[in-house]
């Protein structure tokens, strides 16, 4: 997805929401090395403020952040991030289950064990994918 003011050669704007300060620091460091624009937040409240102020091409969200599953049952993450594709991350090996109440904006679930570089690559692939018709 390309923002209206983004040209083909610009990197996608990535939003990372994770309550682990070490993980956030590592993401910042890896993104800086790769020249990727990344904004990091430590909470859902912070995410809401950032999503209202900036348009992002993809959001990487910690699955266990602020009890995200409970939060999503009451508030559709798509309404907060509008049409921003979301990738959930976790330290566990489970994936998105059929009975999970996730909106269509949640595109992928990955384990943090794959590494920050691979997480960023997956996010870039999601941002580059054509927008689905259900968004």
More confident residue, 4 or 19: 19
pLDDT digit string (tens) for 96-134? 655 566 677 788 889 999 999 999 999 999 999 886 554
Domain that holds residue 39: 14-94+101-128
CATH number at residue 82: 3.40.50.2300
pLDDT digit string (tens) for 5-27? 444 567 899 999 999 999 999 99
Q: How far is 115 from 87, CA to CA, in rounded Å?
A: 14
Q: How far is 42 from 85, CA to CA, in rounded Å?
A: 19
| C-alpha 67, offset from chain centre | 16
Does the residue 4 lie in any domain? no
pLDDT digit string (tens) for 46-105? 887 777 778 889 999 888 776 665 555 445 565 666 678 989 898 887 666 555 666 777
Q: How far is 121 from 133, CA to CA, in rounded Å?
A: 23
Does the residue 7 lie in any domain? no
Does the residue 135 lie in any domain? no
What's the number of domains the chain is made of?
Answer: 1
The pLDDT score that the predictor gives to residue 95 is: 60
């Amino acid at each position: 997805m390309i923002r209206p003011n983004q040209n083909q050669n610009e990197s996608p704007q990535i939003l990372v929401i994770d309550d682990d300060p070490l993980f956030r620091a590592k993401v910042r460091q890896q993104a800086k090395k790769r020249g990727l624009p990344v904004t990091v937040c430590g909470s859902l409240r912070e995410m809401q403020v950032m999503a209202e102020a900036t348009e992002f091409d993809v959001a990487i969200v910690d699955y266990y952040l602020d009890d995200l599953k409970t939060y999503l049952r009451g508030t559709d993450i798509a309404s907060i991030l509008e049409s921003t594709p979301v990738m959930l991350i976790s330290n566990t090996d489970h994936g998105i289950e059929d009975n999970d109440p996730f909106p269509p904006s949640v595109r992928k679930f990955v384990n943090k064990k794959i590494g920050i570089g691979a997480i960023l690559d997956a996010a870039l692939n999601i941002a580059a994918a054509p927008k689905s018709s259900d968004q």
